[in-house]
Structure 1
Amino acid sequence: MDGCGEGSGTNRMMMEKLSLACDRLLSHLQLACCPSHCASPLQGKDLLIHSLLDPELKALRLTGHHGDISAMVFGTGRDPLLLCSASADYVIVWDIRLCYRRTREGVVASGTVIGTLLGKVVHLSFCPCDERVAACSGDKVYILNSKIEDVLSVLAGHLGPLTAAEFCPWNKDILVSISEDRTFKVWGLKTEEILYQSAILSASPLLSVLFLEKSRQLVTGSADGQVWSFTLPEDHRCHLVTKLDLHKVQQRHQRHLDTVVPQTGGVIGITPDPVETAKPVLRICAYHRRLPDIDHGQQSDNSWVWMGSSDGLYLVDLGTSELQMTLLFRDHPNVSITMAGSWAMSQGLDNSMIFVVTSLFEALLSVLEVRLLGSGSVDDLCQHLEGISVMPSAPLMAESPLTAELKKKDPKPPTKTGSDKCGVKEQPLVFHTQVKSSGYTQSPRMTMFSPKTNVQKKTPGPTKTNKKIGCLFSDYPGDTAAPSVPHTNLSTVKTPTPVCCFQYSGDGKQILCGLGDRSVLLYKSSLTGSPAVYTGHDKPVSSVDWSHSRQWWLSASEDRTLRIWPTGSPEPAVTMGGDEKFSKPIRGAQFYYLDKFLLLASGPSLHLYLYHLDNTRDDIKRYRQRSTIKLTRCLETKSGTDITAVSAINDFYSYIVLVCGADRSIQVLDMNTGTVASQLPDAHSRAVHHITQNKGSMFCSQTSDSYNLFLTSAVTDGVKLWDLRTLRCVRRYENHLNRCHPCTAAFSPCGRFIASGSEDNCAYVYDVRSSSYLHKLQRHSDTILNVTFNPATPEVQEEMLDLI
């Protein structure tokens, strides 16, 4: 065996520290590496240990096996550092420090035999405390004592040969095994029983398995490039959190690079793959980033994992299902291997990773070191982009659309008539507001008088002032658990009618429901009593919104009209739109900039209106509308695509408006300048049908950075959590079912939880910091389309597709 080091390229992203020409093919063998050493077979039966910290130190050769070595692994501890190797005859544990000392003394180094004649062992793993070793041979897992020769237990249950088995890092009595039968099993080592057995996950065998300790998740990958992430709770009932295809994720990553790199001027040595090849997930390893200054909790959840495939390395964020970096062999000609057969991975020092890789078709072995600091990854490129925030960082410009004001017309002086001279004023013939109806059209009363009897005196209750004060000073509980207990169930109408939209008022006392039967219902938040019914639209109501002052609310419909209603009035103060106003239906409408503007989207245009509302009417000239509306600015999307969803904050002054297009893009509009500040193409695999921002509540305070988070929903693509400052997805939620209906999502007022509708007749409540759901709100009979949180109390409201 000949060794050669890579003398140059210290500034490269992926550096080859060691290259070995072996005497035989080592593909599909489990190799071993740790931050300080790496191990490889020598002449089939011996072990060769290389020091990574001291390249000048002579390699350590260990002998003891009589058959060809098929698997090896380092222990989890550093003192002493243990190495376990296996062949068909023996399973041996070596103390590396003791072996170095005996070699220096001229004594043959030896290990401890812990297993004999177990067959061909394809995978080895130590428990977290290095007391036990799991050896996979055939369709069985042998649990061995790491100090003496003792078979503690034998686990059998798979229908095909095993490929790997790993101990649970937070529970040493739990082991997970994967097999060529395309399933994984969770074993209880105390009882030697199967605690959980998965269904068949793929058409190809499962090859790799990994535990993520912080998120308590189990990750497994298959030979066809599929990756699954499951929760592993205390009851061992695993739930699917994330599923991704490595090839599709790479294609999406390449499209994102094509848009980011031209904006930043960066260069990444990645060329498109002309041939579509299979990407087997040969090995998975967690990557714990050591970032010194983190002001946002979403970046420190350690959900990044390295995946070794046949064509290179992939750094994937399981929290977002996004590819962070791709290191392919064809883009690094300094690496001697062009196609990988097996991988061994270990986290090094200073954000570095150590990889041992063997060639698939050649007798070659390489030791690679990857450093990510200043590497030119997507995150590094995004750091050069100008930061965008919901909170204004500059005063309004003089030419800003937000400085527009509505000029009121001066009232004309009254003209004098002949009747004015004689002191007699003309009055309307009938005063409808002062004269009661004569009652000619009513049915005659049969009972003239019926006295009230048994009248009880009412005890004086709390005054309205006390109620208001109590409501204003009752803060939203910031440390409460997510809602999980059903409180009220209400049927809105007798016939099945979809609830298209609904929203709480800012004080949490009232709730608006826009229905598919063209009406709007106004309920009390307790959902008691009969609702107020508002009609007038000719098609289903698509959106409703409360003003910040709660004196007005608006409704938009598929009939291309928008109506603004005074609170408590049966007639709208403003009716705008129609076929002559908007050529396409209104996809989003709301009050904006502390009720100064109206914001609505129709087709590819975003309209900004100034308005003055006056709900007084002349009893004679009732057709005359005294309210005034003026178009201030009309902004078009860059690509000219239709707008599918829009969001802006009205509770405080903010220049940012988020717009989603039918081309799957998200555009950030700066209304201070009236331009598109940033654009993110291909945000989802489908067009975004819902977007909402973390708007908080008047009853709860959050940090200013929290308001930069927003959610998007798309059919078949789950819910994504984004950070506006980097315009990067920081979390993805896809436990709920969303295949055809436009299910929405919502933030809790405290910003700690997210709720989403689902097509399995349930509403899902997620923790913002984790991709797995907390609660599954059931007891529904149809698809949950809309969800929202009460801004005053920890309650979540869900609306079904068909309410009966």
Structure 2
Amino acid sequence: MEEPQEISSTNDSCVGDIVIEKYLVESKEAASHVQLACSVQHCAFPLDGNQLCIWNTEDPSHQRLILRGHQQPITAVAFGNTANPLLICSASQDCVIMWKLDECREKVLEGLTPRGTVMRTLLGKVLCLRFCPDDRVVAACAGNKILVLDVEVWDHRLGSLIYSSSVLTASPLLSLFIDEDSRQLVTGSADGQLWIFSLGESHHYRCVTHVDLKKKTESFSTRRVESQLCSLPEESQLPSTDGLERGGEIEVELPVLSLAPCALSLVPSSERGFVSSENASCLWIGSSAGLFILNLANFELEAVLRYKDFRNLSIQVAGSCAVMGKTGNHMAFCLLTSLFGSQVAVLEIRLACLVRSLPRPNVGKDLSVLPRSGVLPTSPLYFALVEEKSTKPASQKQS
């Protein structure tokens, strides 16, 4: 394991301490296109294929917890939602295992081998795992089936289908997120498309909007360049076009690998750039090229962090991604696996530094105001209007 290292940016407009590579490990087998897991305090990922590695983000010693129980390579990992006990579920083609994290740590301290509970065997290749809010049920997606596994009892009561959507896109759906505040369901696909549905029953679960991540990134880059130009002093020279073109590069494909809540609204407004709503819900979008913050109120990008803009970052193109924000200290952790290699990295993202690095709109140059009423009789504009009317020929018809 390598020591944490601070990653500086190649873009001069960015703050150098936006991203810190807290953890980097080389795995014997690649873990690309594998569902990774991040909780408030832990990151979990496959190591050497069939081992489950758990890293505590708050442990200064960077000690790893290795859990062994799978024979085949792990394909999906998910944390539970409750802290006591903190559960983690891992899946491979041979079995699905449930682990109680605290018990596993106690076993290790006692010199024993931690064991999990095998919930199901031979489900096939499980691509996604997800806990229900109370951690009593785990949904496993294997092939074209979704299986519901009970954590405590096997006879899960039958549910009813409340909504069924038609085919959204020809590309596979890779990620899903439910925002409790705005009651919206967000899905992301391999071709960089996001579909947002309203969960209000009166809305009949209709699609609210469709977001093209590539087009939104182009629009964000245009806004950023315009803001940079407007903030230049009048006597200064325009920057070279090479720098602007390099800053406005757009990735060809931006698959939506993961979705997670973002606490951007908690960052002080004095440090924020393009944030348009103080209490708006925001969303982390993890892709192969970088991380994006989407405002769920106006569906515009608030920030873009591209991996290639930072020197010495071990992973430039990600195959899998998981993000978890910490609301108390304005930080987020991003767990990445390399698309072309076998590296696994944990990045610490300082949210306040990220938004502070964005150019702010220039508010001191021009001001446009829409009138709420007619021109006052005492206004100079009023007399000019009267004078203009009086100079018109009498024969000209008035509209």
TM-score tier, shorter chain, comes to: 0.7 to 0.9
**Matched residue, 2:341:** 362
* Structure 1 segment 226-265 matched on structure 2, within 5 A: 226-234=193-201, 237-264=204-231
Following superposition, the deviation at residue 331 of structure 1 comes to 0.6
CA pair 147-269 structure 1, distance change in 2 beyond 3 A: farther
Asked if 2 retains the 8 angstrom alpha-carbon contact of 1:325 and 1:377, the reply is: no
Residues 503-559 of structure 1 show CA distances to partners (whole Å, capped at 9, x for unaligned) of xxxxxxxxxxxxxxxxxxxxxxxxxxxxxxxxxxxxxxxxxxxxxxxxxxxxxxxxx
Asked if 1 retains the 8 angstrom alpha-carbon contact of 2:303 and 2:358, the reply is: no
Residues 133-175 of structure 1 show CA distances to partners (whole Å, capped at 9, x for unaligned) of 1111121111111235x263xxxxxxxxxxxxxxxxxxxxxxx
**Is 1:124 paired with 2:99?**
no
Letter in 1 for 2:211: L
Question: Partners in 2 of 1:385 and 1:87 — Cα distance?
Answer: 55
* Structure 1 segment 571-720 matched on structure 2, within 5 A: 592-594=374-376, 609-611=384-386
**Is 1:48 paired with 2:24?**
no
CA pair 119-236 structure 1, distance change in 2 beyond 3 A: farther
Equivalent in 96, 107, 112 of residue 107 of structure 1: 112
Equivalent in 322, 326, 347 of residue 344 of structure 1: 322
Following superposition, the deviation at residue 80 of structure 1 comes to 2.0
**Matched residue, 2:186:** 219
Relative CO higher for 1 or 2, CA cutoff 8 Å, sep ≥ 6? 2
Residues 550-569 of structure 1 show CA distances to partners (whole Å, capped at 9, x for unaligned) of xxxxxxxxxxxxxxxxxxxx
Residues 577-612 of structure 1 show CA distances to partners (whole Å, capped at 9, x for unaligned) of xxxxxxxxxxx999544465698xxxxxxx994438
Asked if 2 retains the 8 angstrom alpha-carbon contact of 1:339 and 1:359, the reply is: yes
Asked if 2 retains the 8 angstrom alpha-carbon contact of 1:592 and 1:598, the reply is: no
Following superposition, the deviation at residue 104 of structure 1 comes to 0.5
Asked if 2 retains the 8 angstrom alpha-carbon contact of 1:324 and 1:377, the reply is: no
Asked if 2 retains the 8 angstrom alpha-carbon contact of 1:26 and 1:358, the reply is: yes
Question: Partners in 2 of 1:96 and 1:119 — Cα distance?
Answer: 25
Asked if 2 retains the 8 angstrom alpha-carbon contact of 1:218 and 1:232, the reply is: yes
CA pair 108-259 structure 1, distance change in 2 beyond 3 A: same
**Matched residue, 1:436:** none
Equivalent in 204, 212, 224 of residue 171 of structure 2: 204
**Matched residue, 1:315:** 293
Asked if 1 retains the 8 angstrom alpha-carbon contact of 2:265 and 2:279, the reply is: no
Residues 176-210 of structure 1 show CA distances to partners (whole Å, capped at 9, x for unaligned) of xxxxxxxxxxxxxx653332122222232221111
Asked if 1 retains the 8 angstrom alpha-carbon contact of 2:194 and 2:211, the reply is: yes
CA pair 124-81 structure 1, distance change in 2 beyond 3 A: same
Asked if 2 retains the 8 angstrom alpha-carbon contact of 1:589 and 1:598, the reply is: no
Question: Partners in 2 of 1:335 and 1:276 — Cα distance?
Answer: 18
CA pair 194-369 structure 1, distance change in 2 beyond 3 A: same
Question: Partners in 2 of 1:375 and 1:197 — Cα distance?
Answer: 39
CA pair 378-227 structure 1, distance change in 2 beyond 3 A: farther
**Is 1:300 paired with 2:278?**
yes
Letter in 1 for 2:6: S
Question: Partners in 2 of 1:229 and 1:120 — Cα distance?
Answer: 28
Following superposition, the deviation at residue 59 of structure 1 comes to 1.1
Worse-matched range after superposition: 259-268 or 67-76: 259-268
TM-score (norm 2): 0.83
Asked if 1 retains the 8 angstrom alpha-carbon contact of 2:7 and 2:313, the reply is: no
Following superposition, the deviation at residue 17 of structure 1 comes to 0.9
Question: Partners in 2 of 1:595 and 1:378 — Cα distance?
Answer: 48
CA pair 43-613 structure 1, distance change in 2 beyond 3 A: closer
**Is 1:32 paired with 2:11?**
no
**Matched residue, 2:261:** 286
Equivalent in 337, 353, 360 of residue 332 of structure 2: 353
Worse-matched range after superposition: 307-316 or 268-277: 268-277
Asked if 2 retains the 8 angstrom alpha-carbon contact of 1:112 and 1:147, the reply is: no
CA pair 151-590 structure 1, distance change in 2 beyond 3 A: closer
CA pair 20-292 structure 1, distance change in 2 beyond 3 A: closer
CA pair 265-14 structure 1, distance change in 2 beyond 3 A: farther
Question: Partners in 2 of 1:608 and 1:324 — Cα distance?
Answer: 46
CA pair 100-221 structure 1, distance change in 2 beyond 3 A: same
Q: CA RMSD, aligned part only? A: 3.6
Asked if 1 retains the 8 angstrom alpha-carbon contact of 2:41 and 2:57, the reply is: yes
Letter in 1 for 2:308: R
Letter in 1 for 2:101: I
Following superposition, the deviation at residue 34 of structure 1 comes to 1.4
Residues 332-373 of structure 1 show CA distances to partners (whole Å, capped at 9, x for unaligned) of 122111111111111124121111111111111111111121
Question: Partners in 2 of 1:345 and 1:375 — Cα distance?
Answer: 15
Asked if 2 retains the 8 angstrom alpha-carbon contact of 1:195 and 1:236, the reply is: no
Following superposition, the deviation at residue 115 of structure 1 comes to 2.1
CA pair 589-105 structure 1, distance change in 2 beyond 3 A: closer
Asked if 2 retains the 8 angstrom alpha-carbon contact of 1:144 and 1:151, the reply is: no
Equivalent in 95, 116, 131 of residue 100 of structure 2: 95
Asked if 2 retains the 8 angstrom alpha-carbon contact of 1:307 and 1:313, the reply is: yes
Following superposition, the deviation at residue 21 of structure 1 comes to 0.9
Q: 2:353 is paired with a residue of what secondary structure? A: coil
**Matched residue, 2:11:** none
**Matched residue, 1:330:** 308
Q: Which of the two has higher C-alpha Rg?
A: 1
Asked if 1 retains the 8 angstrom alpha-carbon contact of 2:214 and 2:250, the reply is: no
Letter in 1 for 2:152: K
Residues 481-522 of structure 1 show CA distances to partners (whole Å, capped at 9, x for unaligned) of xxxxxxxxxxxxxxxxxxxxxxxxxxxxxxxxxxxxxxxxxx
CA pair 276-610 structure 1, distance change in 2 beyond 3 A: same
CA pair 221-595 structure 1, distance change in 2 beyond 3 A: farther
Letter in 2 for 1:213: E
Question: Partners in 1 of 2:248 and 2:395 — Cα distance?
Answer: 66
Q: 1:78 is paired with a residue of what secondary structure? A: coil
Q: 2:163 is paired with a residue of what secondary structure? A: strand
Question: Partners in 1 of 2:82 and 2:29 — Cα distance?
Answer: 31
Residues 242-290 of structure 1 show CA distances to partners (whole Å, capped at 9, x for unaligned) of 2121111111111111111233369999934557511111111121235
Residues 679-724 of structure 1 show CA distances to partners (whole Å, capped at 9, x for unaligned) of xxxxxxxxxxxxxxxxxxxxxxxxxxxxxxxxxxxxxxxxxxxxxx
Question: Partners in 2 of 1:299 and 1:592 — Cα distance?
Answer: 31
**Matched residue, 1:375:** 354
Following superposition, the deviation at residue 72 of structure 1 comes to 0.6
CA pair 390-249 structure 1, distance change in 2 beyond 3 A: closer
**Matched residue, 1:647:** none
Q: 1:219 is paired with a residue of what secondary structure? A: strand
Asked if 2 retains the 8 angstrom alpha-carbon contact of 1:31 and 1:71, the reply is: yes
TM-score (norm 1): 0.43
Residues 353-411 of structure 1 show CA distances to partners (whole Å, capped at 9, x for unaligned) of 111111111111111111121335576623x74498899xxxxxxxxxxxxxxxxxxxx
CA pair 46-589 structure 1, distance change in 2 beyond 3 A: closer
* Structure 1 segment 561-580 matched on structure 2, within 5 A: none
Question: Partners in 2 of 1:277 and 1:390 — Cα distance?
Answer: 37
